[in-house]
Each structure stands twice: as structure tokens, then as C-alpha cells.
Amino acid sequence: METSIRTIQVGMGPLGCLMTPVFGNKASIDVVAAVDVNPDIVGKSLGDLTTADSDVTVSDLDTALAQSPDVAVVTTVSEVDRLWPQIQPLVAAGVNVVSTCEELSYPWTTQPDLSREINAVAREAGVSVLGTGINPGYLMDFLPTVATAVVNHVDRVLIERIQDATTRRLPFCQKIGAGLTPQAFQELVTSGKIRHVGLTESMHLLAAKLGWSLDRTEDVVEPVIADIPVHGEGWTVKSGQAAGVNQTGRGYVDGEEIITLVFRAAVGQPNPRDTVTLSGDPDYTVNVPGGTHGDTATCAIIANAIPAIQAAPAGLRTMADMPPISCCL
């Protein structure tokens, strides 16, 4: 049997803890250390913190690096300028990095200087760095670019991620603002508490891969307003209240909207799905009926990225410029 990949987890928050058992089910992945800055969990075992069977204990970074890891999975922050000081010691130590940091999925357009620095340090160390996940990282950027391979010309890209929260429990419904008045919803938008990070990065990846030069992008968060009451498990959304969130990314060339990303998570949504619609020569549609479960798919793609990033050419990678990730054993 091939040697499994010595992996460390950096960031044992909710997402990191969801990933540990996924990694534990992969013969190709061996979690050899875990890192967090929260003193409440340092010293605890991954077996205590997660559903995985693991006696690895949460430590500091130096202790983790002493385990000679091949790959680090970093689930800490959304901003690449906050991420870089966290991963720079890993990269310098020759550890490949996969991160859920949304801005890392395509930082070249919004943060070119920092991207060049990450790329240079990674190449110097002979390792690769990738930001991925389900969104950004797959549904609204990678999958659409893959769909464009079979058409002659693309005029316009529309991507819709429609999630129906009706069967979800209260915490998720609260997270998406369901049950709020429009005013209360708007206050959470203004304070940045309801906002999905990554639409801008997805648009820039798409544009770069298609050779498009965007004049500008927009990222607008609005409530979906319920027009009839919706009842779920332990909650009710009344008519006129927010049923959830609708976030729209728009990319323009010469004043024309040629990229539209619709991210909607709300109760009472019919026909949940992920859909890529290319308008061009010819038109082309790729659909995931029922949609893609965010947490499950994010854990899966990060796990599956571990062998891929170890094999990828050194440097700051994106999903568009390395061999495609597939399910690993």
C-alpha cells in the first residue's frame, strides 16, 4: 500500500471538527497533528473534539511541524491578508497548504502583490498552496469553467445556487436571516453578519480563465421576502418577513453584465439546485438537481484536494491551473 499523506489540521473550529472524521475515513490521509489558538481546546484530543477515533491532541504550530507534515489543511479565516501570516511558517517549512480561506480561491485580481509573494515563497520552498471549497472553489467558478470547454464561444455566464432551508433546523435558518423583519435583516447585512464571502473571487477566476477583463464587479446582499407563511421544525416565517438571503454577484465588461452569480438560501424555495447556464455558441446547461450540501461537499473537496495539492506544481495554485481534483481513497 502507498504511504498515506501526513496531514495537519490548523483551525479546529466547527468546520475543522467536521473534517477530522472525513480525513479519518481516507486511507490516503493520516492526520498527525492539529493546531488551534483557543486555550480551551489546546491539549484536548481530536477524539474528544470530533466524532473521529483519534488520540492526536491539539497543540501549537511548532509541535505540529515537528511531525514532519506533508500537507496542512487550514480552516481559520476568510481574508487572505490575515491567512498569509498564519501559513507563511508552514510554506517556509516545506508544507503544502490547502485552505478554505475564501479569498485564497482566486486572490490574483484583488490582491496581486500578496498573490505574487505567496507564489514566490511557495515556489522557493517547492510546495503548493490552494484555496478551495464548494463555494468558492467549485460550483461557481471551477465547474463553470469546465463546462465552457465544450462550447465555441461564451457570451454570458449565469450560475444559480438555490438552497431550500425549509427542512433545516433553527440555527441554520437564523444564520440566513429567516424570520427577521426586512429592517432587522438589513441591519445584519450592514454589520456584515449576513454575507457569503467568495462571489467576487469566483467571478475573477471565471474571467481570468475565459480571458475576460472585467471593468467592475458587484456583490449585493438582499433578503428574500416570504409571500406566504412557511413553517418548519421549531420555527415559522410569516408573510412579509425575510425567508432567507439572496446574494448576487455581477461582473461587467464594457458596461454589460456578462457574469451573474445567484446565491440564495431561504425557506420555502422550490427546485433547489446548482445550475450553470452558458449563453453562447451553443448555449449549454449543467445542472445538479437538488443542489450540493455545503458542509459535506466542502469537507469532501478539501480531503480530496490533499493528494492533489501534494502532486501539483509548486506555487500559488487555483482550481483552474492544476490537474482536477477527484475523489481519493
Point out which residues bind a second copy (CB under 8 A).
Answer: 22, 25, 134, 138, 142-143, 145-146, 148-154, 209-211, 280, 282, 284-290, 292-293, 296-297, 299-301, 303-304, 313, 320-329
**Nearest distance from C-beta of residue 312 to a second copy, angstroms:** 10
Q: Which residues contact 46 (CB under 8 A, 6 or more apart)?
A: 9, 12, 20, 31, 34, 52, 54, 55, 56, 57, 58
> Which SS3 state, helix, strand or coil, does residue 47 take?
helix
Complex with a second copy: residue 136 or 268, whichever CB lies closer: 136
DSSP state of 239: T
Complex with a second copy: residue 64 or 207, whichever CB lies closer: 207
**Nearest distance from C-beta of residue 171 to a second copy, angstroms:** 21
Complex with a second copy: residue 14 or 290, whichever CB lies closer: 290
Complex with a second copy: residue 229 or 282, whichever CB lies closer: 282
Complex with a second copy: residue 252 or 284, whichever CB lies closer: 284
The answer to whether the beta carbons of residues 310 and 5 sit under 8 Å apart is: yes
**Nearest distance from C-beta of residue 20 to a second copy, angstroms:** 13
State the alpha helices, DSSP H only, in 28-134. Answer: 46-49, 61-65, 80-92, 112-125
Cell 503548493: give the residue: 128
**Nearest distance from C-beta of residue 231 to a second copy, angstroms:** 26
Backbone angles phi, psi at 64, to 5 degrees: -65, -40
Set of cell numbers at residue 264: 440564495
**Nearest distance from C-beta of residue 101 to a second copy, angstroms:** 18
For residues 220, 225, 231, 236, the Cα torsion angle rounded to the nearest 10 degrees is 90
